[in-house]
Amino acid sequence: MDHLATTLTQLFVILLAAKIGDEVFKRIGQPVLIGEILGGVVVGPAVLGIYQITPETELFAEIGVVLLLFQVGVETRIGDLLRVGGTAAAVGVLGVVLPLGAGLALGSALGYPIEVSVLLGAALTATSVGITARVLGELGALASHAGRVILGAAVIDDVLAMLILAFATGLAAGDVSTGQLATLVGLAAAFIGIVLVVGTRVLRSRPAILTVPEFAATPFLPGMILMLGLAALAAVIGLAAIIGAFLAGMVVGESSERHALEVEVAPVAAFFTPFFFGFIGAQVDLTALADPLTIALLAALTALAVATKFIGAFLGSIRLGRQRAALIGWGMIPRGEVGIVIAGLGLGAGAISGQLYSVVVGMAVLTTLLVPPLMGPLVRVAEPESSGQR
Amino acid sequence: MDHLATTLTQLFVILLAAKIGDEVFKRIGQPVLIGEILGGVVVGPAVLGIYQITPETELFAEIGVVLLLFQVGVETRIGDLLRVGGTAAAVGVLGVVLPLGAGLALGSALGYPIEVSVLLGAALTATSVGITARVLGELGALASHAGRVILGAAVIDDVLAMLILAFATGLAAGDVSTGQLATLVGLAAAFIGIVLVVGTRVLRSRPAILTVPEFAATPFLPGMILMLGLAALAAVIGLAAIIGAFLAGMVVGESSERHALEVEVAPVAAFFTPFFFGFIGAQVDLTALADPLTIALLAALTALAVATKFIGAFLGSIRLGRQRAALIGWGMIPRGEVGIVIAGLGLGAGAISGQLYSVVVGMAVLTTLLVPPLMGPLVRVAEPESSGQR
C-alpha cells in the first residue's frame, strides 16, 4: 500500500470511529466528546492498531484543535473576556501555582532530578482549552459568566504553562537564562496585545480586501489565513499554536458578518475536530497499565491533578459564589492535549522515561474523561439561565 | 523552529500566496486558478523557497483535490453522466490512445528504454479532472452538455492512465502479468459499479444513521467519511484517490438534502483546494530550464500533449458538432496533477531521470496554464445558454 493510501485509510478510520463513538454516546445521553475519544482508543494502538500516530495524523489532530479554538474565538467577544479579566487571571494563576507545586513535590519525593520535576509540574498546569470549550459548547454555556472565566483562565494558564516549559527545557539543557525567559514573557504579552488591538482596529476599518466580491460575503478565507498565520507565529515564538488560533478567531469575530462566518466555519471545524479527540484517545497505552507501580503512580498523579486544579481555580473565583466557583474549578480540570504535548517534548528530549510519559498521558486522558459527566448538573445549578440552550 | 511551527508556517504561506494570486487574477479578469498556481510558483522552491514540498504539505494538496472532486461529484447527477456515457467513452479512449502513441514514439525516437517510453506515454494520457472541473465551475458550465462529456471522459481517462501506469511499473520491475492487469481492470470496474449502484440505493432507502438528529439536517459528516473511505479504497486498489472521492460525491449528491450539503461542503473545499493549486505551482523547477536541450524537449512534449489530446477528444465528440467538439477537445488538455504523480512515481523508482521529470512536470503545468484563457470564449460559442451563470 503506498504512503498516500495508508494516510487516507488512517484518516478514514479515525473519523469513522470518532463519529460512531459520538452517535453511541449521544444515544445513551453521555457527552459525545468521550465517545469520540473512546473511538480513538479502539482503533488506535491500544486495541485494534489500525490508526497510528504519524506526522500526518498528528497534523490533522493539531489542525483540529486549532480550528476548534478558532471557532471558540469567533464566538467569544473580546469585551466579554476583558470584563471577567480579573477573576480569570486569579483562576489562571492559582490554578497553575498549586499543580506546579504539587508536581515539584511529587517529583522530589520520588527522587527525580529537578528538571524532570519541573517538567512534571508543567504537565500538570495547563487546562485543555479545547476540551473545556467543547463541553461548554455542548451545554450552551460558552457565553455564561462562568464559561467566560474558564475560557480566559484556560488561555492564561496555557501561556503560563508554556513559560514553565521553556524554563524546564532550559534546565534540562543545562542553561536557563533569565534574559531568555524575560524575552519569552515579553513576546507573549506583545503578541497577545498587538493582535487584539491592531487586529480589531484593522478589521473595523473594513479594508478593501474584505469588500471585494466573494470575500465580501464573509471574511472566511482571510479568517482562515489569519488563523494559520497567528497559529504559526504563536508556535514560532514558543507559545501554543492554539493561542494564536483563539486570538485570530476573536479578531475576525469582531467583523459585522460574524453570523455568516460562523455558518462557514462550522463545517470545517466539524470535519477536523474529531481527528483531535480521536488522536487523544489513540495516545492511550494500555500495556503500560499492566504494571501495578505504574497504576499507583497514575492514580496519585491524577488525584493530585484533580485536587490542586479544583482548589486553585475554586479559590480564584470564590467571589463569584460557591456554586460558580465549583463549576469553574471543575471545568478547569481537563488537561488533554497540553499535558500530552509537554510530556512528549520531555520524552523526545530524553528527560523523562517511557513509564513517566505513559503516566502523564494517562492523567491527561483521565482528567478529560472525568469532567464532562458532572458539567451538566453543575451548569444547571450555577448558570441556570444558560443551560439547555443547545 | 519545531516541526509543527514549520508546517503551520508552510500552510499559512501557501494559502496566503494562493489567495493573493486569486485576487490579482480576479481584478485583471483572468482565471483565478492560474493566479493560485503562480502564487505557488512564487513562494515555492523556484523563487522564494518558503514553501517546501513535504509529506504534510503534499497531504494537504491531496486532500484539496480529493475535496474538489467530491464537491464536483455532489453537483453531478449520475443520470446526467450516464446519458452522455457513449460520447464520454469515445472521448476518453481516443484521448488516451493518441497521447500514449505519441509518448511511445517520442520515447523511442530519443532512444529511451521501452518502460520509460510507456511511462512517458502514461504521463501524457490523463487529463486533470480537478483543473478542468474548476475552470468549468468558474464559467458555470459544469452541467452543460460539453461539461458533462468532459467530466465523464476525464474520469475514464484517469482510470485508463492508472492501468497504463500499472503496466509501465510492471515493465520497469521486469514482470508484467496479464493476470495482474486483468485483476486491476476487474477491480476498477467492480469498484465503480458497486459504489454507484449500492451506494445510491442505500442512500435512497434513508438509513437510520442519516435521520438521527444533527445528522438529519444534511449527510455532511457521513459524506466526508464516505469520501475519505472511498478515496482510500481507490488508492489501495491502485486507482487515483480522486476517483473514489468523485464517486462518493455523486452518491451523497443523490440525497434529498443535496442543496444543504453543498452549502456545508463549499467552505471546506474553499479552504483546501488552494493548497492543491499552490502545490502544482510549487512543483515548477526554473533551474531545469537553464538548459536549451531541456527547453526544446519541453516545447516538443507540450506541443504533442496539446495536439494529441485535442485531436483525440475532438474526434471522439465530433457528432456533437464542431463547436462543442472543439470545447471538449480544449477542455481535456490540462494534465495537472496526474501527469506529475506519474512522473514522480517514475522518478522515485529510478526509471526516469531528473531532467525528464522536470520536463513532464513543466508540460503538466504549461498545459494547465494554457487552457483557462480560451475556455470562456469557447463556452460562450458552444454552450451559450450556460455561460455567465456564475
Please report the pLDDT score of residue A300 as a whole number: 93
Answer whether B267 sits within 8 Å of A3, measured CB to CB: no
Written as one string, the DSSP assignment of A135-194 is HHHHTT-TTSHHHHHHHHHHHHHHHHHHHHHHHHHHHHTT---HHHHHHHHHHHHHHHHH
What is the Cα–Cα distance from B359 to B120, expressed in whole angstroms? 10
Angstrom distance (rounded) from CA A332 to CA A157: 10
Chain B within 8 Å of A264 (Cβ-Cβ)?
yes
What confidence score (pLDDT) does residue B364 get?
Answer: 87
SS (H, E, C) A334-383: CCHHHHHHHHHHHHHCCCCCHHHHHHHHHHHHHHHHHHHHHHHHHHHHHC
Determine the pLDDT at residue A37: 87
Assign A362 a pLDDT band (cuts: 50, 70, 90): confident
For residue B1, what is the nearest residue in chain A, using CA coordinates?
A236
pLDDT digits (tens, 9 = 90+) for A12-64: 999 999 999 988 988 887 778 888 888 998 998 888 888 988 889 989 998 99
Please name the member of B8, B16, B220 whose beta carbon is closest to the beta carbon of A235: B8
Tell me the nearest-neighbour CA distance from A362 into chain B, angstroms. 23
Look up residue B195 and give its DSSP letter. I
ipTM above 0.95, yes or no: no
Distance separating alpha carbons of residues A356 and A116, to the nearest angstrom: 10
Question: Which of B4, B69, B191, B210 to mutate to test binding with chain A, by most A CBs within 10 Å of its CB?
Answer: B4
CB atoms within 10 A of CB A321: 13
**Does residue B301 contact residue B106 with C-beta atoms inside 8 Å?**
yes
Residues of A in contact with B214 (CB under 8 A): 26
CB contact under 8 A, A236 and B9: yes
What are the grid coordinates assigned to A330, written together?
471543575
Across B307-342, b (16+ Cβ under 10 Å) vs e yields ebbbbbbbbbbbebeeebbbbbbbbbbbbbbbbbbb
Cα nearest neighbour of B212 on chain A: A23
Residues, chain A: 390
* B contact test, residue of A233, A271, A338 with most B CBs within 10 A: A271
Q: Looking at domain B58-379, does it have CATH number 1.10.10.10? A: no
Record: contact A236-B5, CB cut-off 8 A: yes
In this prediction, residues A124-134 reach a mean pLDDT of 84
pLDDT confidence band for A212 (50 / 70 / 90): very low
pLDDT confidence of residue B214: 46
How much is the pLDDT for A267? 92
- Residue A348 near chain B (CB below 8 Å): no
Tell if the CB–CB gap between B212 and A7 is shorter than 8 Å: no
* Dihedral over Cα of B208, B209, B212, B217: its sign: negative
Alpha helices in A213-291 (DSSP H): 220-236, 241-253, 258-282
More confident residue, B23 or A201: B23
**pLDDT, tens digit, 9 for 90 and up, residues A223-240:** 999 999 999 998 888 777
For A214, nearest residue in chain B (alpha carbons): B23
CATH 1.20.1530.20 fits A55-277+288-382, yes or no: yes
Provide the pLDDT for residue A218.
63
Dump pLDDT digits (tens) for B319-370: 999 999 999 999 999 987 777 777 877 776 677 787 888 888 889 888 988 8
Q: With beta carbons under 8 A apart, name residues in chain A contacting B225.
A: 12, 15-16, 19
CA atoms within 13 A on the CB side of A385: 6
The minimum CA-CA distance between B60 and chain A, rounded to whole Å, is 9
A143 vs A320, higher pLDDT: A320
Q: Has residue A211 got a pLDDT over 70? A: no
Q: How large is the average pLDDT for residues A114-136?
A: 85
CB contact (8 A) between residue A271 and residue B221: yes
> Which pLDDT score is estimated for A390?
40
Inform me whether the C-beta atom of residue A262 falls under 8 Å from chain B C-beta atoms: no
Task: With cut-offs at 50, 70 and 90, classify the pLDDT of residue A389.
Answer: very low
Say what the pTM is: 0.84
Cell of B86: 457513449
Q: How far apart are CA A239 and CA A191, in angstroms?
A: 10
In which residue ranges of chain B is pLDDT below 70?
1, 169-176, 203-218, 348-349, 387-390
Residue A206 reports pLDDT greater than 70: no
> Is B257 in the A-facing interface, judged by CB distances under 8 Å?
no
- Say which residues have a Cβ less than 8 Å from residue B91's Cβ, sequence separation at least 6: B149, B150, B152, B153, B156, B312, B313, B316, B317, B328, B332
| Interchain contact, A5 vs B241, CB within 8 Å | yes
Position with higher pLDDT, A186 vs A319: A319
The alpha carbon of residue A245 is apart from the nearest alpha carbon of chain B, in Å, by 11
Query: Which of the residues A225, A265, A275 would you substitute to probe the B interface, choosing the one with the greatest number of B C-beta atoms within 10 Å?
Result: A225
Q: Locate CATH 1.20.1530.20 in chain A.
A: 55-277+288-382
> pLDDT tens for residues A273-309?
999 888 888 887 777 778 888 899 999 999 999 999 9
Per-residue model confidence (pLDDT) at position A291:
86
List the end-to-end C-alpha distance of chain B, in Å, as a whole number: 44
Cα(B185)–Cα(B179) distance, rounded to whole angstroms?
Answer: 10
